[in-house]
Chains A and B, each alone.
Chain A
Amino acid sequence: MIAFVLRRVVAMVVVLLVLAAIVFALQEISPVEPVRVKVGEAASKSVVEAERKRLGYDDPLPQRYLDYVEGAAQGNLQTSLRTRQPVASDIGHYLPASIELVLAALVIGVPLSLLFGIAGALRLRGSGVLRTVLFVLAAAPAFLLGIAGILIFYRDLHWLPASGRTSIINPPTGPTGLLVIDGLLRGEPNVTVNSLEHLVMPAFALALVPAVAVGRVLRGSLMANLRTEQVRAARARGLSRWRIVSRHGLRNAAGPTLAMGGLMFGVVFSGLTIVETVFAWPGIGLYVAQSIPKGDFPAIGGVTLLVGAAYVIINTTVDLLQGLADPRIRKDL
């Protein structure tokens, strides 16, 4: 057991170091001169040279890589070309909006994938139609879902707002940074309601594709589980259908489903960049999208490092949880 955990953690550290090496290498080959950015365009050549030496840019490559990893571990990520702010503080500024959006997408996506998976596996009435509808919708690019939503629910029906996090002029800034929760904490329910209205469309556009992918895995592995001997035995003992699904089906199907959910985090991030652009949502996705046309590599490299690390850590955690729940996986490696 301890050996299993250790192996996975060591593997995770190796992957994180490779991730840092990739971002570091890309930074080296990108045309951006970080020292130039720091001292400004007008600085003389000698000033640039002196600054290069002082900041260690003339050190040998391995030394620079180690410095880079050390800096990143302490939350020190270069300076953005576009905003002229440290990338770390930019991310801190944009992250809460994205976290709120991703949480809202989870609130929509998890029940959707459970419904899709369970209804499909039990062949409930209407599950065929649901499956077809979701199968078709999941093929749509996130921006099509977004703009179709804006045209229908904003332009035609006037039900939902089409851009931003809130239409309240001075929204509360803290303590959590999530407007829905801050509104409640500060006793301003209108803020909560307003930001919930703003969340509906982007969260749905973000959640749909991953929810269907996860739901398909759940459905497949539930169906496989419900065909096993133990389920037949349970049915023969007279257990109710719901009890069979929850105790024998869902428990065994949880592993592959969670694994797919972890992998979907990458899709959610690329979805964030799109959905936040369409809905002018001020999160890190929009930050990345706006940095791309400016060729702002420090900003994008910083976000890549952060989001990539989150992806690796989430998937390792899922792996560990699977190992804890299922001894067969532990034995395997």
Chain B
Amino acid sequence: MAAVEPILRPGFRPRRRGRRGYVRLRAMPIGDRLALGALALVTLLALLGPTLAPHDPLSAAGPANHPPSFTYPLGTDEVGRDMFSRVLTGLQSTWLAAFGVIAAGVLIGGGIGVIAGTLGGWADSVLMRVTDVFLALPPSILAIAVVTAIGPSLFHTLLAVAIFWWPYYARLVRAETRSLVVRPHMVAARLSGAGWWRRLFRHLLPGTFPTVIVAASLDISNLILLLAALSFLGLGAQAPAPELGSMTAAGLSSLLTSWWIPVMPALAIFVLSLVGNLSGDAIRDMVERG
């Protein structure tokens, strides 16, 4: 069957998406705009963190156990390393790790969901039963077991969490796919001779996008807290790497003498998770308004 040439009016230009995005941003309530601003700021800080750090996060920069001051905004730790530089560097691994696991979950889960949703039949049944089994297992507990078995490192931790993080997205994308494939625009695309890949990428996936982006943005904060908990237990990057959770755990012994050593990295996690929550809500509102 020959492909049908699309008939376009002379001078027709597809509507630009960027402009619509701008208009939507301006119509946003101030709180949501602040939340998205904070999201951008934190992401920027996480990307630039190590270059902004005034001192070497791994070696002594001043006196030990120095309380927060003008020179050392967050104080120094038991061996005189600058807490501000360590927290900035730690921000990067926590923030990027959370994004990485979400991306892996969306890709694996989304892939399985799209396959199950478009193929239907026994492939759908098998994939969804497997998903159900994984969905019935507790991710945090199993992640601890996996990392202990294969040995602690940041990569192993991310791998372990990602293994148990996709089923939710698989369910979500599959449900969305099932409702999209029977929609008139999909039928029209098939009748006009669009190939399988084109239908997938131009007509199906964009439709699943809003649901997935909302779920993922509301999920960021859960992941930050889980990764911080695993790092606190010693299941992330190994010492002396500046990781926020393990810094808190290591600083616990100084809690009553130098409170800033465990508190500052824990506060940084708190800020990350709060920004994740607020911007997740803002993104949901934005997508729901259309």
Name A's B-contacting residues (CB within 8 A): 11-12, 14-15, 18-19, 22-23, 26-27, 29-31, 135-136, 139-144, 147-148, 150-151, 155, 209, 265-267, 269-271, 273-274, 277-278, 288-289, 291-293, 295-297, 300-301, 303-304, 307-308, 311-312, 315
Are A147 and B274 in contact, CB atoms less than 8 angstroms apart? no
Q: Which residues of A contact B152 (CB under 8 A)?
A: 292
Most interface-central of B142, B145, B232 (chain A CB within 10 A): B145
List B210-234 residues whose CB lies under 8 Å from chain A. Answer: 221, 225-226, 228-229, 232-234
Tell me the smallest distance from the CB of B210 to a CB of chain A, in Å. 19
Q: Which residue of A lies closest to B273 (CB)?
A: A139
Question: A interface, by DSSP: helix, strand, loop or mixed?
Answer: helix
Q: How far is the CA of A303 from the CA of B226 in the complex (A)?
A: 18
Are B232 and A277 in contact, CB atoms less than 8 angstroms apart? yes
What total count of A-B pairs have CB within 8 Å?
143
Residue contacts A-B, CB under 8 angstroms, 21 given: A15-B133, A26-B145, A30-B148, A31-B151, A139-B221, A139-B277, A141-B225, A142-B229, A143-B228, A143-B249, A143-B266, A144-B267, A147-B248, A151-B263, A266-B140, A273-B144, A273-B233, A277-B249, A295-B151, A307-B138, A308-B138
Q: Which residues of A contact B255 (CB under 8 A)?
A: 147, 150-151
Most interface-central of A26, A27, A148, A296 (chain B CB within 10 A): A26
In the complex, whether B262 has a CB less than 8 A from a CB of chain A is: yes
In the complex, whether B269 has a CB less than 8 A from a CB of chain A is: yes
In the complex, whether B285 has a CB less than 8 A from a CB of chain A is: no
In the complex, whether B188 has a CB less than 8 A from a CB of chain A is: no
Q: Which residues of A contact B263 (CB under 8 A)?
A: 144, 147-148, 151
List B243-276 residues whose CB lies under 8 Å from chain A. Answer: 245, 248-249, 252, 255-256, 259, 262-263, 266-267, 269-270, 273-274, 276
Are B274 and A136 in contact, CB atoms less than 8 angstroms apart? yes
Are B270 and A140 in contact, CB atoms less than 8 angstroms apart? yes
Name B's A-contacting residues (CB within 8 A): 132-133, 136-142, 144-146, 148-152, 221, 225-226, 228-229, 232-235, 245, 248-249, 252, 255-256, 259, 262-263, 266-267, 269-270, 273-274, 276-277
Q: Which residue of B lies closest to A301 (CB)?
A: B145
Residue from A11, A19, A141, A300 in contact with B148 in the complex, judged by beta carbons closer than 8 Å: A300
Q: Which residues of B contact A312 (CB under 8 A)?
A: 136-137
Are B141 and A269 in contact, CB atoms less than 8 angstroms apart? yes
Q: Which residues of A contact B249 (CB under 8 A)?
A: 143, 277
Q: How far is the CA of A141 from the CA of B227 in the complex (A)?
A: 10
In addition to A139-B273, A289-B233, 20 A-B residue pairs with Cβ atoms within 8 Å of each other are A11-B132, A12-B136, A19-B137, A22-B142, A141-B229, A141-B269, A143-B232, A143-B262, A147-B262, A147-B263, A265-B138, A267-B140, A269-B138, A270-B229, A277-B232, A292-B233, A292-B234, A308-B141, A311-B137, A311-B138
